[in-house]
Amino acid sequence: MFDNVLIVCHANVCRSPAAEMLFKARQTRASHHRAAPIAFHSAGLRAVNGHAMDPVMRRLLEERGVTAGSHHARRLDRSLVRAADLVLVTERAQVSDVEALDPAARGKVYPLGKWEADSDVADPHGGPEDDYRESLVLIEHLVMGWLKKIC
Q: Is 15 in the active site? A: yes
Q: Is 151 in the active site? A: no
Given 85, 97, 120, 123, the catalytic residue = 123
- Give the C-alpha separation, 12 to 44, whole Å: 4
* H helix or E strand, kind and range, residue 30: helix 15-30
Q: 111 has which bridge partners?
A: 89
> What is the longest distance spanned by two Cα atoms in the chain?
41
Q: Is 46 in the active site? A: no
Given 9, 14, 58, 102, the catalytic residue = 9
Given 15, 54, 74, 151, the catalytic residue = 15
Q: 72 has which bridge partners?
A: 52
> Could you list the active site residues?
9, 15, 123
